């Protein structure tokens, strides 16, 4: 679904959602030599339970993008309730941002324009159709693949096979080596391995260091990632990603500092009350209908519905139609064991994420936005198109976008 449709998870750039991952120190390093002979507990074995217990997070988030020789830096102050759609982020410094404040209580989202000071207000809806795993569950599965206990300094020499980039971790192990023509199927299944590289300190807090590396770097543009996961809450306090595209080196680093957990802020944090002299543009709440198949969607719309070419591991979770006086769109969400990919086609209101670089799709300029959720957005024939995926390699999304073209 498009970021310009209805839910905050699809409206807001994934970077602001990166932080919604947790765990707890209680699952940490237990003695390997227990007097009663019991086996040591694995690190992160109850990360999802502890993550669900976090009532709030406050932090300063710094994002650094490097595209070739070009480097940009932005700083936001963020507050959020993990496991919900409630968050607040205010821009403190940085270029290329249309809005300097975004606030949502899960039902209403507000944006404040950085230049004009004008405000946009959108009523949100959430169909809760997607049986998505929580971020805590995904982190827990990541540590489960590592099987690290006390006394294990690192596992970098023997990376666990069959891991997709955080937080998407498939349930099964590796896949057979790639054959000609099956590049994207391999990427869609288990193209990555994860390694445990011991502990370090970030923002004065102990973190577990995890490295995610490609099994075949040429498949995913050399995409690799390092995570510094808080040892108490299993919250990624730092993430560094690197990849190549069209011969250009790209990197993105996200760091959370001045972090406090369970701060007890009340619901007023997630409300926004504009001044009486500020113009407020109220967006109509779109009406959404959901369908079990693309064929069913095509029967009820006059808009041509894209037929994206995805890896064979993906299946359609649902198709949708969204309509309001200012927006009309069709969308499809696909899932496999570990990832979700959304494809949307929008006529009208559309807020694409801030671009990090550009590529060509169907002869058109397409913007690639990299964060916790990655996006490819482009326009042609009067429609805005978008392909997005949480922790899905940008190069795979570009391939899918090219299969959609201007359809």
What are 34-59's pLDDT values in tens digits?
Answer: 445 555 678 878 877 877 778 889 99
What are 65-78's pLDDT values in tens digits?
Answer: 888 888 989 999 99
The percent of residues above 90 in pLDDT, for the chain, comes to 22
Would you say the pTM of this structure is higher than 0.75?
Answer: no
Residue 281 pLDDT > 80? no
By the 8 A CB rule, do 208 and 239 touch? no
- Strand pairing class (315-324; 287-291): antiparallel
Query: Where are the chain's structural domains?
Result: 14-84+132-261
Residue 157 pLDDT > 70? no
The whole-number pLDDT of residue 311 equals 87
Over 202-251, what HEC string results? ECCEEEEEEEEEECCHHHHCCCEEEEEEECCCCCEEEEEEEEEECCEEEE
* Rounded distance between C-alpha atoms, residue 277 and residue 117, angstroms: 10
Q: Quickly tell me which residue has 């671009």 as its tokens.
A: 355
* Rounded distance between C-alpha atoms, residue 315 and residue 313, angstroms: 7
Residue 99 three-state SS: strand
What are 170-212's pLDDT values in tens digits?
Answer: 323 333 333 334 444 444 445 577 888 888 999 999 988 888 8
* Rounded distance between C-alpha atoms, residue 392 and residue 168, angstroms: 8
Task: Place 31 in a pLDDT band, splitting at 50, 70 and 90.
Answer: very low
The whole-number pLDDT of residue 218 equals 54
* Rounded distance between C-alpha atoms, residue 309 and residue 57, angstroms: 39
* Strand (E) or helix (H) holding 200: strand 192-202
Task: Place 216 in a pLDDT band, splitting at 50, 70 and 90.
Answer: low
What are 229-263's pLDDT values in tens digits?
Answer: 888 888 889 999 887 766 778 888 999 999 999 87
* Tokens coding 356: 């990090």
The whole-number pLDDT of residue 337 equals 64
The whole-number pLDDT of residue 260 equals 93
- Strand pairing class (357-361; 364-369): antiparallel
């Amino acid at each position: 679904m498009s970021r310009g449709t209805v839910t905050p998870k699809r409206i807001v750039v994934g970077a602001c959602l990166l932080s919604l991952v947790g765990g707890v120190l209680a699952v940490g390093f237990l003695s390997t030599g227990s007097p009663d002979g019991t086996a040591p507990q694995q690190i992160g074995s109850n990360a999802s339970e502890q993550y669900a217990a976090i009532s709030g997070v406050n932090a300063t988030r710094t994002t650094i993008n490097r595209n070739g020789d070009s480097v940009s830096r932005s700083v936001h102050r963020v507050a959020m309730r993990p496991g919900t759609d409630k968050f607040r982020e205010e821009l403190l410094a940085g270029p290329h941002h249309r809005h300097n404040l975004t606030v949502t209580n899960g039902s209403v989202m507000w944006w404040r324009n950085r230049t004009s000071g004008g405000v946009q207000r959108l009523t949100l809806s959430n169909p809760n159709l997607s049986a998505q795993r929580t971020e805590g569950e995904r982190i827990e599965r990541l540590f489960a693949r590592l099987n690290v206990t006390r006394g294990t300094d690192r596992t970098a020499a023997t990376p666990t096979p069959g891991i997709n980039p955080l937080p998407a971790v498939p349930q099964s192990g590796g896949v057979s080596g790639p054959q000609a023509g099956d590049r994207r199927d391999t990427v869609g299944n288990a193209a990555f391995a994860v390694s445990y590289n011991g502990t370090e300190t970030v923002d004065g807090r102990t973190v577990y260091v995890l490295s995610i590396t490609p099994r075949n770097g040429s498949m995913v543009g050399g995409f690799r990632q390092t995570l510094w996961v808080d040892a108490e809450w299993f919250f990624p306090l730092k993430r560094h990603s690197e990849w190549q595209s069209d011969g250009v080196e790209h990197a993105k680093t996200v760091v959370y500092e001045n972090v406090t957990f369970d701060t007890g802020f009340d619901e007023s944090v997630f409300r926004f009350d504009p001044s009486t002299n500020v113009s407020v543009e109220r967006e109509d709440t779109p009406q959404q209908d959901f369908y079990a198949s693309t064929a069913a969607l095509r029967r009820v719309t006059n808009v041509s519905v894209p037929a994206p070419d995805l890896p064979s591991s993906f299946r359609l979770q649902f198709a949708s139609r969204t309509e309001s006086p200012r927006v009309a769109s069709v969308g499809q969400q696909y899932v496999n064991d570990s990832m979700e990919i959304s494809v949307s086609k929008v006529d009208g209101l559309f807020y694409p994420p801030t671009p990090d670089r550009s590529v060509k799709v169907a002869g058109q300029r397409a913007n690639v936005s990299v964060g916790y959720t990655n996006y490819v957005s482009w326009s042609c024939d009067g429609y805005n198109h978008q392909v997005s995926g949480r922790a899905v390699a940008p190069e795979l999304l570009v391939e899918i976008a090219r299969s959609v073209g201007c359809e």
